[in-house]
Chain A
Amino acid sequence: MNASRFRSWPITIKVPLAVVALMILVGLVLSERVLARLTETQQRHLVELSQSYLDGLSSAIAPSILREDNWEVYDAIARAQEINKSLHPIETVVTNSEGAVIAASDPKRHPIGTSFSPNDISKTKAFSYSAGADTANAMRTLSYPGRVAGIIYTTFDTRHLAAERRDVLMALALTNGALTILLAAAGWLLVTHMMRPVRILSEHLGVARETLAVPVPDEIVAKTTGEFGHLFRGYNGLVRSMKEREDLSKRLAEEERLGSLGRLASAVAHEINNPLGGLFNALSTMKTHGHLAGVRSSSLGLLERGLVGIRDVVRTTLAVYRRDSGSRNLVPADIDDLGMLVAPEGRRKYVTIQIDNRLDGPIAVASTPIRQALLNLLLNAVAAAPEGSQVNATVSAGTAALEIVVSDYGGGMPESASAVLTAGYGPPPLDGGGLGLWTTSRLVAEMGGRIEIERLRPSGTTIRLIIPILRAELSDVA
């Protein structure tokens, strides 16, 4: 497996695995040390015992070896083997200096007089034993000043030592194995327990990525203490503040809508009030001179035109501010209505509003946000335009996008206002000003469009909205 795959494993697997690896390492090192120590001890004991065996045997056979007294040497070997049973001597061979057997513990294997040469090179050392081996060898040369009298070769059975070594190894392996499994399980439990708050947090954050962030339930927070308790409370605080901010944004947007409605309401009232005087005059004329056919018909015409004007104003207002107005597609009349809506505000400020409506049929964009956005821009432009100047608006449709351009000759849009307008889903302005621009920015962003701002020379601003037109099939669905 490669390292990057390991890194991507959950920590609940990685920690127990690390524990296992560490324990195996510790177990190996410990076992090696214990076995090395055991081997050392076994070997030291074996050396001591074998030396004492050889010492005893040497002193017993020394006189006999010079006489080559086969029986006495054999008897001494037999007695030594009997006495040193704990040492497990398997075989002892005594030869003279020429290597001819004087006597052996098993005379049938090594008859008297046959030549004995150790087939194993290790047998020619004073002592040799390798850990775990079944036998150990010891050799002793009996020498008198000037000459070698004889040599004793002994082989000891060390299977009990090998068995002891195996037992120790087995015990070590079992203990280490059990400990490793135990600690790995403990590690897994511990890490799983410790990682629970992280998992909860990560799940909540995962939810937040897709929808609105959800706070961690209070009962879980109450049960969690320490760093994770702080973390949960901090996270919940963050979620709350995010929600408050979201709510505030919604409220601000609503207030802005209502605010602009308020501003318009006086304009609308003024618009309705203007013809009312004429209408009442017409009514009065009707009352006084109603019997005159000419006067009557002209008064009725006046009444009708006045009422139609009022109706148009009311209709337009309704169309703009009616909730859930559906997602009707934009039609040329929507733009004309806007002209009518902002005209009173223009007149109030002595600003001419020139709207160039180049649409010749319905366009596959939602009418309501377009109208609201354009209304906001027009009102903003009128507010910015100096008296006696002109505000121009052009609405045109290409094959892919609807383009709306609004220009004024005011002092130019401040940087902060430009930033709010082009921020898309940005936060609402902190000082509460420029909410109209912020709302426009959101509306355009929701429609997938974009806003470009251009400063004019010597002064003025051109704002360009580009709204993509929905494909035919999608507009049907919408």
Chain B
Amino acid sequence: MASGGNKELHRRAFLGAAAALLAPALSDAAENTGIVPIRFGLTPVFLTSDLELLGRLQSYLQRSTGSPVTLVNRRTYQEITALLTSGQLDAAWICGFPFVAHRSELQLVAVPLWHRKPLYQSYLIVERDRRASDLDDLRGDIHAFSDPDSNSGFLVTRAALAQRNLRPETFFAKTFFTYGHRDVIRAVASGLAGSGSVDGYVYDVVSELEPELTSRTRILKASEWLAFPPIAAPRTIADPSRFEAVKRAFLQMNDDPEGRAVLQMLRLDGFASEDPNIFDTIAAKAALVAAAG
């Protein structure tokens, strides 16, 4: 929201406006020539408000796939997941939790590499000066979750409580969802929430970009390494060439200057083709939670 200076805001606004003008033009062109644009969904997994990033990603994907690309943003994971499973999107960057939840309906396109691994952690964060050392110390808190379909921003903490035979609504005094990892950090930093569950990757990148925001919080506990939120596509696809084009675009992003720029902005090393088994730990957590009821 208030990240970056005025100059950057202007630059972003301009690029955003350019992208907004460009996208419909391309879509119209596609409709006129009979080419259906590739629809790519984005969850608020990361800096979805960064219009420059969106513009460059769209530009890269269009050039790489040779097709017009429409980026679809929604407020919640659930909306994107629903669009994806119903075949209204060709691919989407979703979270590991919906991926395992809809495993039968989805297939992996690529998994981002962060620090050269397709892994990340979930952080349990508290206010900087808070005297607490473990999840157990947070009883009676107001707790900020990111999204009910987020692995790192909900499932990990939920599963940790389930292991203790606890439920968030009874363990915490109150919980709320911010529908964005950065907003979880803001909620904890401002004191609105006593603690929060946040994506470790997002937290680290935000601490690099906005150290004054994360400096008001500290990491109470980091989870084990879990599979990074993947790019997924519906399991049944009408046109395999479009799927391949999208997959190739992600896997070869590192070979292209614009792709590298996008990766640099995302602080990622690239995308890799991974075995869906890396999501088993997340699936186990989901199962644990489901068993707890």
Interface residue range, chain A: 10 to 19
Contact indicator per residue, chain B 177-202, by CB within 8 Å of chain A (1) or not (0)? 11100010011001111000000000
A71–B177 touching, CB < 8 Å: yes
Assembled-state Cα–Cα distance A32/B187 (Å): 48
In the assembled complex, the CB of A104 is this many whole angstroms from the nearest CB of chain B, namely 8
A106–B191 touching, CB < 8 Å: yes
Assembled-state Cα–Cα distance A206/B186 (Å): 93
Assembled-state Cα–Cα distance A139/B23 (Å): 44
Set of chain B residues within 8 Å of A107, measured between Cβ atoms: 190-193
A74–B187 touching, CB < 8 Å: yes
A82–B142 touching, CB < 8 Å: no
Count of chain B residues with Cβ under 8 Å from any Cβ of A?
A: 17
Set of chain B residues within 8 Å of A70, measured between Cβ atoms: 142, 174, 176, 192
Whether A69 sits at the interface, judged by CB under 8 Å, is: yes
Whether A113 sits at the interface, judged by CB under 8 Å, is: yes
Whether A159 sits at the interface, judged by CB under 8 Å, is: no
Set of chain A residues within 8 Å of B173, measured between Cβ atoms: 113
Whether B2 sits at the interface, judged by CB under 8 Å, is: yes
Whether A75 sits at the interface, judged by CB under 8 Å, is: yes
Contact indicator per residue, chain A 60-81, by CB within 8 Å of chain B (1) or not (0)? 0000000001110011001100
Contact indicator per residue, chain B 151-195, by CB within 8 Å of chain A (1) or not (0)? 000000000000000000000011011110001001100111100
* CB closest residue in chain B, given A112: B142
B192–A103 touching, CB < 8 Å: yes
Assembled-state Cα–Cα distance A106/B191 (Å): 8
In the assembled complex, the CB of A91 is this many whole angstroms from the nearest CB of chain B, namely 13
* CB closest residue in chain A, given B175: A70
B176–A69 touching, CB < 8 Å: yes
Set of chain B residues within 8 Å of A112, measured between Cβ atoms: 142, 174, 192
Whether B92 sits at the interface, judged by CB under 8 Å, is: no
Whether B286 sits at the interface, judged by CB under 8 Å, is: no
Q: What is the total of A-B residue contacts with beta carbons within 8 Å? A: 42
Known: A79-B1, A82-B2, A111-B142. A71 touches B178 (CB 8 A): yes
A71–B144 touching, CB < 8 Å: yes
Q: Which listed residue (B142, B144, B183) contacts A113, Cβ 8 A?
A: B142
Known: A111-B142, A113-B142, A113-B174. A71 touches B192 (CB 8 A): yes
Set of chain A residues within 8 Å of B190, measured between Cβ atoms: 74, 78, 106-108
In the assembled complex, the CB of A343 is this many whole angstroms from the nearest CB of chain B, namely 135
* CB closest residue in chain B, given A82: B2
A74–B174 touching, CB < 8 Å: no
Assembled-state Cα–Cα distance A74/B193 (Å): 11
Set of chain B residues within 8 Å of A111, measured between Cβ atoms: 142, 191
In the assembled complex, the CB of B71 is this many whole angstroms from the nearest CB of chain A, namely 23
Set of chain A residues within 8 Å of B183, measured between Cβ atoms: 71, 75
Contact indicator per residue, chain A 71-109, by CB within 8 Å of chain B (1) or not (0)? 100110011001000000000000000000001001110
In the assembled complex, the CB of A264 is this many whole angstroms from the nearest CB of chain B, namely 127
In the assembled complex, the CB of B179 is this many whole angstroms from the nearest CB of chain A, namely 8
Assembled-state Cα–Cα distance A111/B174 (Å): 11
* CB closest residue in chain A, given B127: A108
In the assembled complex, the CB of B180 is this many whole angstroms from the nearest CB of chain A, namely 9
Interface residues of B (CB under 8 A from A): 1-2, 142, 144, 173-174, 176-179, 183, 186-187, 190-193
Which are the 3 A-B pairs with shortest beta-carbon distances? A108-B191, A107-B192, A107-B191
